Amino acid sequence: MIAYFDCFSGISGDMIVGALLDAGVPFEWLRDELGKLPLKGYKIRVEDVKRGGFGGKKFQVEIEEEQVERTLGDIKGIIEKSALSKDVKELSILVFQRLAEAEARVHRVGVDDVHFHEVGGVDSIIDIVAASLSLSFLKIKDVYASEIPLSHGIISSSHGRLPLPAPATMELLKDVPVYQSSTTSELVTPTGAAFLAVVCKGFGSIRPMRLEVIGYGAGERENEGLPNLLRVMIGEDSSLIPHPSSLEADSVMVIESNIDDMNPEIYGYVMERLFDEGALDVSLIPVYMKKGRPGTIVQVLCETGMEKVLGELLLKETSTIGVRFYRTERLKLHRETVEVKTRFGTVRTKVARAPWGSKARPEYEDCKKVAMDNGIPVLDVYAETIKAFERDDE
């Protein structure tokens, strides 16, 4: 399952938990799981509320005892001593680790010297652990989110008056696509930003999915304009959904760049680097560009979320000054790699199967090695491998 957080009114820890509760996490189960933490002096509750006329769930932590400052080590100790599952512990600690790193950069101190104030309280610990528990309950494997809106203005904190977004929040949003909002109240909290920074595989448009459930988590106050809600969309990755024709269907990103001023010898190196960084396929397409200049389109296929890394690689390793990318849909045959035994040796072979038959393609590197070991033409190895596969496949 995958989850997509639509942060049109920002994001915070309690909004994340509220949205996931609305998406199907049982409150009683969550309360019992949180009870495994060695923490006292708090109560949690959830209620149905409306923001801007639309409904959602408001998750609240009510503190009954005076709060104390905690270090990262203190919070790690609380979580590690609990009876929570290993994956929930690890995710929760990672979020606080990221928070500590952001605070350390802002205050110019070591990570172990950071003293959490607002985010070290019981409510913040409960929010982060509850969000981690909720993802685990819903069996969410991959998380994505929209671009993040940034507010402006001044807020009061334990460090005095601070500009919005808070400095630690800004640190946590590095490398995340953001845009300016007209709102003058806090839209993104450090806990919300830290959680996204740790769990999200990508930001931007919705990943193709078969949508199954939608949840809404409410913020603390009513906002002018947009309702103060966080929307989560949960569904099955469409790449895992069988196509009606028994073929596999998925979507990939295409990255392209037109180049007409680079030494052609560089292209081989660039292709190798792209494959090393995770490209699914790379093509070089000859074209004629303006003023009749011969050029090359470098076209890269990759999984969603890899387009920035591979796009930056093209910008660094080639003479291009811009790349474009877009999503496209694919139909493909089911593929597997098998070992085919021939009279010359064993050759790994990629096999694509379909209702109308199979296609086999011997791996070049294996054919090359077998040919050199036996002192025979590589074409003979290809032919022998195909013949052996067809015989065995029957």
Could you tell me which residue, 52 or 117, shows the higher pLDDT?
A: 52
**Rounded Cα–Cα distance for residues 386 and 388 (Å):** 5
The amino acid occupying position 187 is L
Mean pLDDT (whole number) for 122-130: 90
**Rounded Cα–Cα distance for residues 385 and 367 (Å):** 9
Binned at pLDDT 50, 70 and 90, residue 128 comes out as very high
Could you tell me which residue, 44 or 114, shows the higher pLDDT?
A: 44
Mean pLDDT (whole number) for 81-89: 92
- DSSP conformation letters of 97-126: HHHHHHHHHHHTS-GGG-EESGGGSHHHHH
**Rounded Cα–Cα distance for residues 211 and 324 (Å):** 28
Could you tell me which residue, 175 or 60, shows the higher pLDDT?
A: 60
Task: Judge whether residue 274 has pLDDT over 60.
Answer: yes
Binned at pLDDT 50, 70 and 90, residue 105 comes out as confident
**Rounded Cα–Cα distance for residues 219 and 58 (Å):** 7
Percent of the chain beyond pLDDT 90? 51
The burial class, CB within 10 Å (0-12 / 13-18 / 19+), for 380 is: middle
pLDDT digits (tens, 9 = 90+) for 323-344: 999 888 888 888 889 999 999 9
Decide: helix, strand or coil at residue 205: coil
Between 9-13, 20-24, 176-180, the lowest mean confidence (pLDDT) is in 176-180
Binned at pLDDT 50, 70 and 90, residue 155 comes out as low
Task: Judge whether residue 262 has pLDDT over 90.
Answer: yes
The amino acid occupying position 321 is I
- DSSP conformation letters of 206-253: PPPEEEEEEEEEE-SSPPSSS-SEEEEEEEEEGGGSBPTTS-EEEEEE
Task: Judge whether residue 100 has pLDDT over 60.
Answer: yes
pLDDT digits (tens, 9 = 90+) for 133-153: 999 999 998 999 999 998 877
Q: To the nearest whole number, what is the mean pLDDT of the chain?
A: 87
Mean pLDDT (whole number) for 119-145: 88
The amino acid occupying position 148 is I
pLDDT at 21: 96
pLDDT at 140: 93
Task: Judge whether residue 235 has pLDDT over 80.
Answer: yes
Whose CA is closest to 334, among 348, 350, 349, 352? 352
The burial class, CB within 10 Å (0-12 / 13-18 / 19+), for 295 is: middle
* Diameter over CA atoms, the chain: 81
Q: Tell me the β-bridge partners of 151.
A: none
Task: Judge whether residue 240 has pLDDT over 70.
Answer: no
pLDDT at 57: 94
> What is 248-331's CATH number, 1.10.3720.10, 3.40.50.150, 3.30.70.1380, 3.40.640.10?
3.30.70.1380
Q: Where are the domains of the chain?
A: 2-240, 248-331, 334-393
Whose CA is closest to 361, among 372, 346, 348? 348
Is 0.75 surpassed by the pTM of this model?
Answer: no
pLDDT at 363: 93
Mean pLDDT (whole number) for 120-142: 89
pLDDT at 11: 93
pLDDT at 384: 92
pLDDT at 394: 65
